[in-house]
Amino acid sequence: SQQGEEDPQALSIQEGENATMNCSYKTSINNLQWYRQNSGRGLVHLILIRSNEREKHSGRLRVTLDTSKKSSSLLITASRAADTASYFCARSNSGNTPLVFGKGTRLSVIA
Amino acid sequence: DTAVSQTPKYLVTQMGNDKSIKCEQNLGHDTMYWYKQDSKKFLKIMFSYNNKELIINETVPNRFSPKSPDKAHLNLHINSLELGDSAVYFCASSQAPDLQFGNTIYFGEGSWLTVV
């Protein structure tokens, strides 16, 4: 299966703390994307990292990619209550293969 | 303006009924998708269309029939609904089907289907 795993499945932190979510996958990728889903809403794209990149930043988000370990992490710094959501990684392989999503990490940021 | 819009947002129906979910995108994208998200949040691709042509059909029961009248619309019709069809169905679009070059997917808000 191309499906990977995200861990932890759920994470609860205090506002102001950093949140780290991990994503592992099994097959080679061209890029890896992170999406966010607020409760009862659709998924929103956050950041994309290509297979030849090791780290990428966007505001309070930092994504790393280790292709040798087939893993990625998403770090949210100085978390806010509004960051409460589920976060999904999605892998892109070659050609027209669809994005493969993990099961997500449910992040709760407590004010 | 909503980029990917789908209707209805909520749908409660009895087993055996037939229902449709409509989707429209105003992003000018060539590719549209249907994803299914189960109660455990697992998101799985069902179909993908590029310029009205089916390019991905992920072993979905043939009770599910997508239709794309034009590249801005992708509707999902479900026949003989079963309890296990209860899920959230997401329509989505991307500029092109080839996601390896960094195309990202834009999702609709989801349609909550409950079969009773």
Find the closest chain A residue to B39 by CA distance.
A103
Q: What pLDDT is attached to residue A111?
A: 92
Q: How confident is the model at residue A4 (pLDDT cuts 50, 70, 90)?
A: low
Q: Given this model, what pLDDT does residue A2 score?
A: 46
pLDDT band at A27 (very low <50, low <70, confident <90, very high): confident
Which B-chain residues 3-42 have CB contacts (< 8 A) with chain A?
Answer: 4, 33, 35, 40-42
Find the residue in B nearest to A95 (Cα). B98
pLDDT at residue A6 in the model:
86
CA angle, residues B90, B91, B94, in degrees to nearest 5: 125
Tell me the mean pLDDT in the region A96-105: 85
Residue-level pLDDT at A3 = 55
What is the C-alpha separation between A93 and A100, in angstroms, rounded? 9
Top residue of B2, B100, B107, B109 to mutate, by most chain A CBs within 10 Å, is B100
Banded model confidence at residue A1, pLDDT cuts 50, 70, 90: very low
- Chain A partners of B56 at a C-beta cutoff of 8 Å? 96, 98
What is the spatial distance between Cα A2 and Cα A85, in angstroms, rounded to a whole number? 24
CA pair distance B74, B48, nearest whole angstrom: 9
Between B35, B102, B109, which is nearest A48 by CB?
B102
Task: Mark the ranges of chain B whose per-residue pLDDT is less than 50.
Answer: none
- Give the model's pLDDT for residue B77: 97
Instruction: Give residue-wise pLDDT tens across range A52-73.
Output: 999 999 999 999 999 999 999 9
Residue B83's CB: how many other CB atoms inside 10 A?
9
Token pair belonging to B112: 């909550």
Say which of B40, B41, B100 has its CB closest to residue A31. Answer: B100
Q: Is the pLDDT of residue A96 over 90?
A: no
Is a pLDDT exceeding 60 seen at residue A82?
yes
3-state SS, one letter per residue, for A10-30: EEEEECCCCEEEEEECCCCCC
- Per-residue pLDDT, A39: 94
Q: Does B101 touch chain A (CB under 8 A)?
A: yes
**pLDDT for position A102:** 86
